[in-house]
Chain A
Amino acid sequence: MPEEIVMPRLSDTMTEGTITRWLKKEGDAVKNGEILFEVETDKATLELQSYHDGTLVKILMGDGSTAPIGTPVGVLAKAGEEVDVSNYASGAAPPPAEPATTSAPTPPAAPAPEAGTPKPQAREATAAAEDVKASPLARVMAEQSGLDLRTLAGKGSGPGGRVVRQDVESAAESAPAPVARAGQSAGPSGPDHEDRELNRVRQAIARNLALSKPGAPHIYLTMEVEMDAALALYKQVNELVDDEQSRLTVNDLVMKATALALRKYTDLNAHFIDGKPPKLRVFNRINLTVAVPGDQGLMVPVVKDVDKKSLSQIAREAKEVYGRIRSNKPAPDDFQGGTFAVSNLGRWGIDEFQAVINPPQVGILAIGAAAPQAVVREDKVEIRSMMRVTLSADHRAADGVYAADFLVELKRLLEHPLGLVI
């Protein structure tokens, strides 16, 4: 059997891809590991390599075509294999549009190719469920949920369009009426996030900035925070705590303050989805990614729902997660779901530094050491514990003024730290 090359699924958020360039021509020999084509997704331009030796006998979707994932884009014949290329139609029809869901308010930017020649009759006519390429698990799941596997034939996200578990799951998910889905997402916990298209001005900003800073164009803002009140609170709390696990660190206070500030400045608690059109995915939960030194290098575990937790709860959970990292036994979701990041080099006596954003996040806060310094208060020189925090923000998501307002709020929270306790 010749191998159908399909539009790969290259990220969790990808629904379709654009072939920017084939690196092989029809008739070219292809070796396992060689690059077949470049594909542009909602996130980046990536290369697709072949997993087989053979000959590229047919290109179904040429340079510049856009196709949903799973659509056949080319045919690879293995050595010695005769292939009747007339069985494969150029510009193969994309699979029929999926049932509309409430979460897809925007039409795709690039029009999908017009439905071309239908797939060969022979394949359609004999397509019993057993003939559909599917993993054993997908087959069982389809049977249990009463899903007709033939509706997914050739459109799976496995190799050659093989139907796998996630295809059955998403088909089952999109099956109920849209009303039911809307009802679900409006449940008590509310939706997890809101995707917001960038307005024209922001889109222009994003496009322009990419010319001077490709990737996430960072801006950096530094602010000094007077930490005497926060340090006094931290000492008081720790005198009351007899359980070692619940003892606070300065970082726990900063995390809580950051989370509370993010509640007001939600655009920084987001992922930048670099698609067409670009979107900002603003999260309802505030899960902080924390930079932690690991055995083999920097690790970035996540402490979840920091804004909703008490300081001692944050202290405990942070200690637990660091412990798991140190003993090399992270829990499966320790690295998942981060919405904003904090990196603290204060313990090492670093005054201030600039941290690099962890994409697709749009902000990271770099915390320096709180150290006694001479400052002027009411025309007098006083000694205060000053700490410098530097926000790196993705300029596509937020402007300098917005980022500055966030820092002002963070400073207010840390300088009046009772708000962190109640």
Chain B
Amino acid sequence: MPEMLFRDALTQALREEMQRDERVFIMGEEIGRFEGSYKVTRGLINEFGKKRVRETPIAEEGFMGAGIGAAMLGLRPVVEIMTLNFILVAMDMVINHAAKIRYMFGGEVQVPMVIRTPGGAGGQLTAQHSQSFESWFANTPGMKVLAPANPHDAKGLLKSAIRDEDPVLFIENLMIYTERGEVPDGDYIVPIGVAAVPREGTDLTIVSHSYATVRALRVANRLAQEGLSAEVVDLRSLRPLDVETIVNSVRKTHRLLCVEEGWPTYGVSAEIAARVQKACFAELDAPVERVGGAEVPMPYAKPLETAAIVNEEKIYQAARAVLAESGMLARGVS
């Protein structure tokens, strides 16, 4: 199976879907001649022309609205927002229109649109450009929210998103574009609403999504060297949420750590903690632990930024804290 970068897997999905269905087109800032800020749309303008690779002005609310209109009238737009941070000026379009139209038109009109955009932090882009508020969208009925963690799932999930009849927010990550992984040639899809278990284990379940999963897997390796066996559940899909896979894992390990890159208060990890305690309270041998970004605007200074991000050391320490709650480890032993 060929290996490729996360970003190239996305390009492949876009190209194959545009070849497969002529209603699919892409729209966004600098996605044509400049090939996108993160080069996901590389080569597409030459192959499909300006009509299907539409360059827009810096006017997110306007072109988000145009995408919704195109979707309502039968096209299948893939709108690129340069980073998740810039979607804020188009929130009314996303939440009040894209997510509501199907309901308000009595199901007669649908909005089969994909919004692709990277969240995340780590490049010293500071407070306004380093955010991970995907949970705001996952909080909204009418939206689907996807956040893959490897190139295989990126390609398969983007295809599912494009073929879906509802508006889908497709979360990428600034750090994840250069992750490498095996991607099958040709057409395949990864279903929406199904989590994956990229690593099996027996002592602890770590639930995460997007780049936090990449980090969680590294931490699981480190724990394995100490004889501690962590299972990693990669959500892939935040809404709909695959509670069953998480619960099955917790039934096996009896301990749960939720990791997310965003702020944990009212976050993805809060949702999972609530669902798990309801679904399998009697299986828990320790309180559910959460770790997320520090609850501050992201600092610019590199040491402060590093301290604010969900880094691997924090995940590792949180994992050990959960195990300690079950008496498996000393707490805070140096």
Contact = CB atoms under 8 A, between A and B. Distances in A.
Interface of A: 8-11, 33, 46-51, 135-140, 156-159, 162, 164-167, 296, 299-300, 328-330, 332-336
Contacts of A49: 331-332, 334
B284 A332 contact: no
Interface in B250-296: 254, 281-286
Contacts of A162: 325
B interface, by DSSP: helix, strand, loop or mixed? loop
B237 to A, nearest CB: 23
B284 A137 contact: yes
A332 B200 contact: yes
Interface residues of B, number: 31
Contact of B326 (A10, A135, A328, A330): A135
A136 B331 contact: no
B199 interface: yes
Nearest to B324: A159
Given A8-B330, A158-B327, A332-B202, 9 more contacts: A8-B333, A50-B332, A135-B326, A136-B281, A140-B282, A158-B325, A159-B324, A328-B217, A336-B227
B276 to A, nearest CB: 11
A51 B329 CA distance: 14
Contacts of B330: 8-11, 46, 48
13 contacts: A10-B333, A11-B330, A48-B331, A49-B334, A135-B286, A136-B282, A137-B282, A158-B286, A158-B326, A159-B325, A164-B326, A166-B326, A334-B224
A164 B282 contact: no
A22 to B, nearest CB: 16
B171 to A, nearest CB: 24
B328 interface: yes
Nearest to A158: B327
A336 B200 CA distance: 16
Contact of B327 (A139, A140, A157, A332): A157
Contacts of B283: 136-137
Contact of A330 (B221, B226, B284): B221
The list of the 5 closest CB pairs from A to B, nearest first, reads A157-B327, A49-B332, A332-B229, A10-B330, A137-B285
A104 B199 CA distance: 38
Contacts of A47: 332-334
Contacts of A333: 229
Contacts of B286: 135, 158, 164
A330 B224 contact: yes
A165 B221 contact: no
Contacts of A335: 224-227
A interface, by DSSP: helix, strand, loop or mixed? loop
B201 interface: yes
A332 B332 contact: no
Give the most central of B200, B327, B329, B330: most A CB within 10 Å. B327
Give the most central of A137, A140, A330: most B CB within 10 Å. A137
A165 B227 contact: no
B184 to A, nearest CB: 17
A334 B325 CA distance: 25
B254 A137 contact: yes
Contacts of B282: 136-137, 139-140
Contacts of B221: 296, 328, 330
Contact of A165 (B201, B254, B329, B334): B254
A296 B225 CA distance: 11
Given A158-B286, A166-B327, A332 B281 contact: no
Given A165-B285, A299-B225, A335-B224, A156 B331 contact: no
A291 to B, nearest CB: 12
Interface string B219-256: 00100111101000000000000000000000000100
A268 B61 CA distance: 72
Contacts of B226: 335
Nearest to A137: B285
Contacts of A48: 330-333
A395 B218 CA distance: 36
A335 B324 CA distance: 20
Nearest to A336: B227
B31 to A, nearest CB: 34
Contacts of A159: 324-325, 331
Nearest to B199: A329
B229 A164 contact: no
A136 B325 CA distance: 13
A203 to B, nearest CB: 27
Contacts of B200: 332
Interface in B311-334: 321, 324-334
B326 A332 contact: no
Nearest to A161: B327
Interface string B194-217: 000001111000000000000001
A93 B260 CA distance: 44
A8 B330 CA distance: 6
B199 A164 contact: no
B271 to A, nearest CB: 20
Nearest to A14: B330
A66 to B, nearest CB: 17
A158 B326 CA distance: 5
Contacts of B229: 332-333
Contacts of A135: 284-286, 326
Interface in B76-116: none
Give the most central of B202, B226, B324: most A CB within 10 Å. B324
Contact of A8 (B227, B285, B331): B331
Nearest to B284: A136
A361 B322 CA distance: 28
Nearest to B201: A332
A64 B328 CA distance: 25
B311 to A, nearest CB: 15
B188 to A, nearest CB: 21
A33 B332 contact: yes
Interface string B120-157: 00000000000000000000000000000000000000
Contacts of A33: 332
A139 B286 CA distance: 12
A125 B229 CA distance: 41
Contacts of B328: 166
Contacts of A10: 330, 333
A63 B299 CA distance: 44
Contacts of B326: 135, 157-158, 164-166
Interface in B150-202: 199-202
A230 B327 CA distance: 49
A189 B218 CA distance: 37
